[in-house]
Amino acid sequence: MVHFLRTKHPLLNQKGQLTEAGYSTSLILDYDRRNIKANALRIKEWDYYLITDGKTGLALTIADNSYMGLASISLLDFENRWEITKSLMRPFPMGKTNFPSSSEYGDLRISRKNYELIFENHGNNRLLTFFMDHFRGNETLRGEITLNCPQTESMVIATPFPQKPKAFYYNQKINCMPASGSVSLGGDSYHFSQDFAMGVLDWGRGVWPYKSTWFWSSASGRINGIPFGLNLGYGFGDTSAATENMLFYNGKAHKLDQVVFEIPQKENAPDYQRAWQIRDQAERLQLSFHPLLNRAAKIDFKLLCSDQQQVFGHFNGNVILDDGTKLTLKDFFGFVEHVKNKW
């Protein structure tokens, strides 16, 4: 049965097991890496920011996956349909990246001679500064983005893995953060205005099995001038107590139950470039998704493998809020992704 988390307490008990599975609209459970009892090599922590305005996109990632650290930047041009992603890995950070225990406070920084990413949290806004050499040929990418952080509800989920009692997935998605700033690459400049651009934060901490597959969809924008966002997905652990499916309208979260992602098939394989269908069981969400650009990435290091299909495009259809209000999405920009990992 779906369970709403109401009481603030530690995420893990003395045995390193999840104390309470469920969902919330704020980061109510207290995460502390020191309380994890699972194999230290299985701990994963990440902060991922995505900023889009429908024309340009920027993604920034810092991750500490214990045996492998990651700094990644993506620049996406949706009008001309190209993207550049550069990811730099480092061996065995083992928690030394010093991730904050909460999304509500603390800064995060990773700095090397040829790149730097800094995520500063100032409470009512977040400042993201970065550079990466040789991002496109010999050209350096650099930029600065400010995200406003209104007091809005968010998606928070805590789920267990029944076969692995010391494994867990603790995740928050913060949608609809107005974004401003600029990015430069060689002689090209890209500018984000709060009138059109919004950001989302994917804040994650957890321990989970070697093999994982998930779907995730996110969008942030405005409908008739009012902030609207969605977060849809499944694939992490036992979701009987919670799913991460939510709509956000004017700062309030509206919970959905299970959703289904229907990907067109071609020759018995997913055809990510054709229109997807996304729906929920209660008929509160009926969307078609029309792709523009697929940020596809595959790596195969035998023991470490990843197949990522992050498809950007437009949503069309209808959603129904908790009070029965029906909203129509018309060419509403966002993305859907299907990821299969061995890591």
Digit-coded pLDDT (tens) for 4-35: 999 999 999 999 999 999 999 999 999 999 99
pLDDT of residue 1: 84
Residue type, 173: K
Q: Are 175 and 202 in contact (CB under 8 A)?
A: no
For 118, residues 6+ apart whose C-beta sits below 8 A from its C-beta are 107, 108, 109, 111, 127, 128, 129, 130
Q: Are 3 and 241 in contact (CB under 8 A)?
A: yes
Residue type, 213: T
CA distance 4 to 23: 5
pLDDT band at 115 (very low <50, low <70, confident <90, very high): very high
pLDDT of residue 182: 98
Q: Are 62 and 46 in contact (CB under 8 A)?
A: yes
pLDDT of residue 236: 82
CA distance 111 to 96: 13
- DSSP-assigned letter for residue 40: G
For 170, residues 6+ apart whose C-beta sits below 8 A from its C-beta are 11, 29, 31, 157, 158, 204, 205, 206
Count Cα neighbours of 343 within 13 Å in the Cβ-side half-sphere: 24
CA distance 129 to 121: 12
For 210, residues 6+ apart whose C-beta sits below 8 A from its C-beta are 342, 343
CB atoms within 10 A of CB 32: 12
CA distance 100 to 94: 14
Average pLDDT over residues 265-272: 90
**What are the boundaries of each domain within the chain?**
9-342
Q: Are 46 and 33 in contact (CB under 8 A)?
A: no
Question: What are the structure tokens assigned to 158, written together?
Answer: 């805590």
For 100, residues 6+ apart whose C-beta sits below 8 A from its C-beta are 106, 107, 108, 121
Where is 319: in which H helix or E strand? strand 305-320
pLDDT of residue 129: 98
Whether the predicted pLDDT of 298 surpasses 90: no
Q: Exposed/middle/buried for 101, CB within 10 Å: 0-12, 13-18, 19+?
A: middle
CA distance 173 to 253: 11
Whether the predicted pLDDT of 288 surpasses 80: yes
CA distance 343 to 136: 28
Beta-ladder partners of 62: 47, 71
137-160 residue pLDDT tens = 999 999 999 999 999 999 999 999
CA distance 177 to 152: 9
Dihedral, CA atoms, 237, 240, 245, 248, nearest 10 degrees?
-120
Residue type, 82: W
Q: Are 47 and 71 in contact (CB under 8 A)?
A: no
pLDDT of residue 290: 98
For 122, residues 6+ apart whose C-beta sits below 8 A from its C-beta are none
Q: Are 38 and 167 in contact (CB under 8 A)?
A: yes
- DSSP-assigned letter for residue 16: S
Whether the predicted pLDDT of 303 surpasses 90: no
Whether the predicted pLDDT of 274 surpasses 90: yes
CA distance 92 to 200: 28
pLDDT band at 237 (very low <50, low <70, confident <90, very high): confident
Average pLDDT over residues 303-318: 93
Whether the predicted pLDDT of 297 surpasses 90: no
